[in-house]
Structure 1
Amino acid sequence: MKILITGSTGQLSQALQTALAGEGKVLALGHKVMDLTKPMQIRQQVRLLRPDLIINAAAYTAVDPAQGDRDQAYAVNAIGPEVLAEEAAALGVPLIHYSTDYVFDGRKPEPYHEEDEPRPLSIYGASKLAGEQAIQAVGGQHLILRTSWVYSLHGRNFLLTMQRLLQERDTLSVVDDEVGAPTWAGTIAAVTADMVRKWRTGTGGPSGLYHLTATGETSWYGFACSIAQNLERQGLLRARLEPILSADYPTAAERPLNSRLNCARLQRDWGMVLPDWEAALHQCLGNANAHQANHSMQATQSL
């Protein structure tokens, strides 16, 4: 089985490459080889490689810069996925694509279901919604997996930014009125790999749109507090955290106050078991701490 994954160096792509390593030959292509802003390049690579499964883990995720870079955001998040969907349909193979909680305006008091009407507040959210709609219009076998607040030990994300700032500053203000579920890239990759296995054995659910996040909820401030607690256990914490309102931290793009996604459809139709966000964070950080301890031991032994 040949699995084509876009965005080879991104945090989700790297997690997918690890999780899917035992499922077949993984072909991870970066933007130099498959640039989602170049439709002909996409078509050429897919037709050359003829994969059995396409996973689009690449995206334009710079939320604030997207406000002034609409064409690039739509090229990567909407046009590129549409071309991938067309090529997947032509080959008769499935496409897995990832979307975001930012397709919603965050004004609903309860967690969002898949059938709730999207109302994005930003260019980023609108471009991701356009990508969803383009894939659905093409048809064919596809999974669109909406997730939220993705982090890992690679790339640029909230976890790594907080770890750095909490060790550099004396005080750090973090927004406390935006609520969601921090979701480890490792969780998304593990669930995706399980869905691929079920698809191959004919035990999976139907194609379509699903929500995929960790369970539970917190604010950005609550997420930062959990990160701070881990640093404190290691004796690395310097900053004191202070909660603030999103109105006190203006950004170019408006964020949804409620980013909670109801994942019952994924659990029901595909039998997926999703971890609590804190448990997943501890697993992610535990992996990092174990790696650091092993590295320190090896350095000591080499002296």
Structure 2
Amino acid sequence: MKIIITGAQGMLGQQLVEVFKNAGHEVISAKRQDLDITNKDQVLSFVQNQKPDVIINAAAYNFVDKVEDAEFYPLALAINADGPRNLALAARENGALVVHYSSDYVFEGTKQDGYDENDEPRPISKYGQTKLEGEKAIQESTDNYYICRTAKIFGAPGSGSNIKESFPSLMLQIAKEKPELKIVDEEFGSPTYVVDIAQATLEMIKDSVPSGIYHLVNEGEPVTWYGFAKEVFDIAGVTTPYNPISSSEFNPRPAARPVNSSLKNTKWKKLRPRLEALREFLEK
């Protein structure tokens, strides 16, 4: 198959490129300088010229707090909603499947047992709203789609601009620099390894699963940032002292976060346990 992957320099995008190339597919890595997904005419022309079987959108604006600022909100909306719409329209016109990644932040976070694919989204931040708008844009533009929600992704950093280290790497770095750490012990979620998301995406396409919304998260009990840090430090053998704090004790953040945005995968094969995935990542 011929696959276009947008956001190919990002943390998830680079893993998608590797997984699909290793599986023998022809991959067109569409970096930001190659394709502006917010430009409808450019997207339609690019896709028409390439004639892919699948378009995978791993491009996103994920600076959660910046989106609350009126200066950055239009850019986030363009990338997270207009871009997916353009890609879905182009996919429909060319008979291609479109795969798009969304976020646990489309949920308000009040359900104690987490959210499955059929729960109604109700974001509490502008970032979450832009991601929900992206989901709606896909569904309004094509019938041939996979919307894959995931959460708190970790893996090797991307190679493009605005590189963000994932939480495990950041915690290990800070643990080397500071005599003691304070970590928020709130905001339960489902941390997930980008390698497993990419592999699951490949298998979904191979199996021709029905169009719809899927939750792709590693198996395991939901954890707070403190709980996730504990898993990281236990595996890595970190001895730096660390203590839990509340969100209110942390530096003020403009965007509200869901208290419990953990995702439940009820429609697709279970991904491997988080601790197994985390150990693999940390030992690389």
TM-score, normalising length: structure 2: 0.93
CA distance in 1, matches of 2:188, 2:210: 30
CA distance in 1, matches of 2:232, 2:113: 26
Task: Specify the alignment match of 2:2 in structure 1.
Answer: 2
Q: Secondary structure at the match of 1:178?
A: coil
Task: Specify the alignment match of 1:63 in structure 2.
Answer: 64
CA distance in 1, matches of 2:117, 2:236: 36
Q: Secondary structure at the match of 1:5?
A: strand
Task: Specify the alignment match of 1:295 in structure 2.
Answer: none
Q: Secondary structure at the match of 1:20?
A: helix
Give the partner amino acid of 1:78: A
Cα deviation, residue 150, structure 1: 0.5
Cα deviation, residue 208, structure 1: 0.6
CA distance in 1, matches of 2:206, 2:142: 22
Task: Specify the alignment match of 2:282 in structure 1.
Answer: 285
User: Which segment drifts farther, 2-11 or 148-157?
Assistant: 148-157
Task: Specify the alignment match of 1:255 in structure 2.
Answer: 257
Give the partner amino acid of 2:143: G
Cα deviation, residue 263, structure 1: 0.4
Task: Specify the alignment match of 1:54 in structure 2.
Answer: 55
| Residues 159-193 of structure 1 deviation map (CA, whole Å, 9 limit, x = unaligned) | 22112111111111111121111100011011111
Report if the CA contact (8 A) 1:168-1:238 is conserved: no
Cα root mean square deviation, aligned? 1.3
Q: Secondary structure at the match of 1:107?
A: coil
Q: Secondary structure at the match of 2:267?
A: helix
Aligned residue-pair number: 273
Percentage identity across aligned positions? 39
Task: Specify the alignment match of 2:161 in structure 1.
Answer: none
Cα deviation, residue 37, structure 1: 2.6
Task: Specify the alignment match of 1:118 in structure 2.
Answer: 121
Task: Specify the alignment match of 1:291 in structure 2.
Answer: none
CA distance in 2, matches of 1:6, 1:163: 30
CA distance in 2, matches of 1:166, 1:231: 11
| Rg comparison, structure with higher value | 1
Cα deviation, residue 238, structure 1: 5.9
Give the partner amino acid of 2:199: A
| Structure 2 residues without counterparts, runs of 5 or longer | 159-163
Report if the CA contact (8 A) 1:106-1:259 is conserved: yes
Structure ranking higher in helix proportion: 1
| Structure 1 residues without counterparts, runs of 5 or longer | 200-204, 267-271, 289-303
- Return the match for 1:207 from 204, 211, 215: 211
CA distance in 1, matches of 2:91, 2:190: 31
TM-score, normalising length: structure 1: 0.87
- Return the match for 1:102 from 100, 105, 113: 105
Cα deviation, residue 231, structure 1: 3.2
